A and B are shown apart, each in its own frame.
Chain A
Amino acid sequence: AQSVTQLDSQVPVFEEAPVELRCNYSSSVSVYLFWYVQYPNQGLQLLLKYLSGSTLVESINGFEAEFNKSQTSFHLRKPSVHISDTAEYFCAVILAPSYNQGGKLIFGQGTELSVKP
């Protein structure tokens, strides 16, 4: 069975500080990896994804995540956070063989990022 673990349920940081949200996964089958974000009173939005190619992927708002196969990790980082980054962040995987058929997402528990002034 596949699983995703987000070790930190809450991460408080000050504005302009760097942040890392950790995500580890377990799977015997190749997976594709995703980070979703849920801002207050909104739905889940895709932040970034890794399917293939470069192991470092970036979002349009300055977040990046690096796929590390040996450590089965996909940590999310940002060098300098803003108040507007306050949200809940979810790491998720899809089994690679099922992606083209619309396979289900397997989510971690979520990490609440709270950016303080």
Chain B
Amino acid sequence: EAGVTQFPSHSVIEKGQTVTLRCDPISGHDNLYWYRRVMGKEIKFLLHFVKESKQDESGMPNNRFLAERTGGTYSTLKVQPAELEDSGVYFCASGGIRTEAFFGQGTRLTVV
């Protein structure tokens, strides 16, 4: 069974540009999460989808971040325009009912 996959694994963009991160969850998992780790700090929750609906987006830093989950399958996280402080590792995770979250390998975003 395939795990959670994230694309790209690395991205280097200039300040002001747009970047879109993609996450493919484990098939059948209704719950999908985005987390972020800024260098040297803890992993922080960004948002939670249940199927295609946003269940909790309390961790989204500001309106430059837009997350979608089309048809309750894969999800995208767009940063527009990117700022230097957006650099970090973005993790996606998925889970079923009463199961732990399974994480992807993360996307390392560097804004220069």
A, B: real partners: yes
**Chain A interface (Cβ within 8 Å of chain B)?**
4, 34, 36, 41-46, 49, 90, 92, 99-102, 104-110
Q: Per-residue 0/1 for B41-84: is the Cβ within 8 Å of any A Cβ (1 yes, 0 no)?
A: 11111001010000110010000000000000000000000000
Assembled-state Cα–Cα distance A29/B42 (Å): 21
> Is the CB of B97 closer than 8 A to any CB of chain A?
yes
| Set of chain B residues within 8 Å of A36, measured between Cβ atoms | 103
* A residues near B91, Cβ cutoff 8 Å: 43-44
Chain B min CB distance to A63 (Å): 16
A109 touches B42 (CB 8 A): yes
Is the interface on chain B under 10, 10 to 19, 20 to 34, or 35 or more residues?
Answer: 20 to 34
Decide: B104 and A43 in contact? CB cutoff 8 A.
yes
Q: Are B55 and A107 in contact (CB under 8 A)?
A: no
Give the complex CA separation of A105 and B102 in angstroms.
12
In chain A, what residue has the closest Cβ to B47?
A: A104
Closest B residue by C-beta to A4? B42
Residues 9-65 of B at the A interface (beta carbon under 8 Å): 30-31, 33, 35, 41-45, 48, 50, 55-56, 59
A66 to B49: give the CA distance in the assembly, Å.
32
Q: Pick the residue among A4, A49, A106 that contacts B45 (CB under 8 A).
A: A106
* A110 CB contacts on chain B under 8 angstroms: 42-43
**Nearest-CB residue, chain A, relative to B3:** A43
Which single member of B33, B56, B102, B105 contacts A42 (CB below 8 Å)? B105
Report whether B105 and A43 are in contact in the complex, using a CB–CB cutoff of 8 Å: yes
Please provide the 9 A-B residue pairs with the shortest distance between their CB atoms, ordered closest to farther. A44-B103, A102-B31, A43-B105, A107-B43, A104-B45, A43-B103, A109-B42, A107-B42, A46-B100
Q: List chain A residues, Cβ under 8 A from B43.
A: 44, 90, 92, 105, 107, 110
**Contact: B103 with A102, CB < 8 Å?**
no
Interface centre among A36, A43, A101 (most CB of B within 10 A): A43
**Beta-carbon contact of A104 and B103 below 8 Å:** no
